[in-house]
Amino acid sequence: MNKKKKYTIQDIAKELNTTASTVSRALQDNPRISEKMRKSVKELADRLDYHPDFRALSLKKGSGRTIGVMVPHIDRYFFSTVLRGIDEVATEMKYSVLICQSFESAEKEELLIKSLLSGKVDGMLASVAASTKHASHFELFGKRGIPLVFFDRAWMPMNVSKVVIDDYAGAVASVRHLVEAGCRTIAHLAGPQHINVYKNRTSGYLDTLKEYGLQMDESMIFQNTITRETGCKAMSEILAMDNLPDGIFSSGDYSALGAIICARENGIRVPQDIAITGFANEPFGSIIHPSLTSVDQHGAEMGRQAASLLIEEMESNIEYFIPRTIVLKPKLIIRDSSQRKPNH
């Protein structure tokens, strides 16, 4: 009596002297089942707190209405807002969401994907890890017939749907803003260039310098600088330079933060001596001193769009769904770290 048990459709059938098929149909309100039988089945099912086994059901049906989501980190504000957007749409459409984090590791990403492929998910949303150098594991989804939609950090060569923001435009807006704030020598903290979002931000930076006829200087570009630590290190190197830049465009908020803190520790004023802008609009940007100018990426909206696109593809019966790419417009949020003109 004490042994815990999971009740099955067979248990209910046995108890009522009938068969599993009748019970199954009764629970589905199949009209071929008598009112009386339906009632007693439902009552017993309720009493036993019966719920169909997910594995058996999805095995039989060929789908478990589950969407997998792969993000580099769940605790990055941007990704957590994307996840919220995905959750909204998925819940509304009666899908479950299975969240995975790669911790920016390509190996972990590959392992997780292989585990998801064996029937755990029916569709996939992914943003690739920073250390990912090839996408063969993402190709597996196509081979298995599981729709895949990239968001934000997309693997561009792959012919699948993508939801991204216009990082190039965000970078252009940011650098223009710095120039208009009076900056003439603008350094750049760049992200890993094999990831589309970072490459586009760097392109926006370079093109905007050109647009204003400003000289591009290799030594002013710091590669692979997206963490607080590397941002701080870059700032130290900057401070050791002969000709100090008067502006920094960072591809991420964390590296911008590192730079600001390092500047403060070395008696350099932001924005008076150096104006700084970040990217991602992490919440800390509004509470640090000086508050950080950044680019908002509309995470929730991206999540909603990506989930909608994926579900549309999953539910379409079209043999070959034609991949679509949705580009969202980012928004420059101007705060103190870059405002040099107004008060000076």
Partner DNA sequence: TTTGATAATACAATCGATTGCACAAAAATA
Partner DNA sequence: TATTTTTGTGCAATCGATTGTATTATCAAA
Note the residues at the interface with a copy of itself (CB under 8 A). Answer: 3-6, 49, 51-59, 64, 73-75, 77, 80, 83-84, 87, 96, 98-101, 103, 114-115, 117-120, 140, 142-145, 257, 261, 283-284, 287-289
The answer to whether 259 touches 327, Cβ cutoff 8 Å, is: no
> Smaller CB distance to DNA: residue 40 or 291?
40
53 binds DNA (CB under 7 A): yes
The conformational region for residue 316 under phi > 0 = left, psi -120 to 50 = alpha, else beta, is beta
Q: Which stretch binds DNA (CB under 7 A): 19-27, 138-146, 177-185, 311-319?
A: 19-27
Q: Are strands 294-296 and 331-333 parallel, antiparallel or unpaired?
A: antiparallel
CA geometry: angle 333, 338, 340, nearest 5 deg = 130
Distances 337 to 277, 282, 286 between C-alpha atoms, Å: 7, 14, 10
- How many alpha carbons fall within 13 Å on the CB side of residue 188? 28
Binding partner at 327 among a copy of itself, DNA, none, C-beta below 5 to 8 Å by kind: none
Give the range of 49-57, 81-89, 286-294, 328-336 binding DNA by CB under 7 A: 49-57
Which residues contact residue 185 at a Cβ distance below 8 angstroms, ignoring those fewer than 6 apart? 214, 217, 220, 243, 244, 245, 246, 247
Considering only 25, 42, 176, 233, the residue that binds DNA (CB under 7 A) is 25
The one of a copy of itself, DNA, none whose footprint includes residue 120, by CB under 5 to 8 A per kind, is a copy of itself
Q: Is 314 in the site for DNA (CB under 7 A)?
A: no
User: Site residues for DNA, window 227-266 (CB under 7 A)?
Assistant: none
Binder of residue 115, out of a copy of itself, DNA, none (CB less than 5 to 8 A by kind): a copy of itself
Residue 98 pairs in a beta bridge with 68
Pick 7 or 77: Cβ nearer DNA: 7
Select the binding partner of residue 37 from a copy of itself, DNA, none (C-beta < 5 to 8 A, by kind): DNA
Strands 123-126 and 66-71: parallel
Of 2 and 17, nearer to DNA (C-beta) is 17
Answer yes or no: are the C-beta atoms of 307 and 125 closer than 8 Å: yes
Q: Which of 4, 29, 46, 61 binds DNA (CB under 7 A)?
A: 61
157 binds, among a copy of itself, DNA, none (CB under 5 to 8 A by kind): none
What are the backbone dihedrals phi and psi of residue 249, each rounded to the nearest 5 degrees, phi first? -105, 115
- Residues 6 or more apart from 305 whose CB is under 8 A from it? 85, 163, 326, 328
Residue 193 exposed, middle or buried by CB count within 10 Å (0-12, 13-18, 19+): middle
Looking at the Cβ atoms of 19 and 219, the one nearer to DNA is 19
Q: Of 111-150, which residues contact DNA (CB under 7 A)?
A: 118
Round to the nearest angstrom and report the end-to-end CA distance of the chain. Answer: 80
What minimum distance in Å lies between the beta carbon of 227 and a copy of itself? 13
State yes or no: residue 22 binds DNA (CB under 7 A). Answer: yes
Q: What's the min distance (Å) between Cβ of 56 and DNA?
A: 3
Report CA-CA distances (Å) from 211 to 98, 204, 322: 45, 10, 36
Q: Please, what is the minimum distance in Å from the beta carbon of residue 151 to a copy of itself?
A: 17
Evaluate whether 112 touches 303 at the Cβ level (below 8 Å). no
Closer to a copy of itself by CB, 46 or 75: give it: 75
Among 15, 42, 52, 73, which residue sits at the site for DNA (rule: CB under 7 A)?
Answer: 52
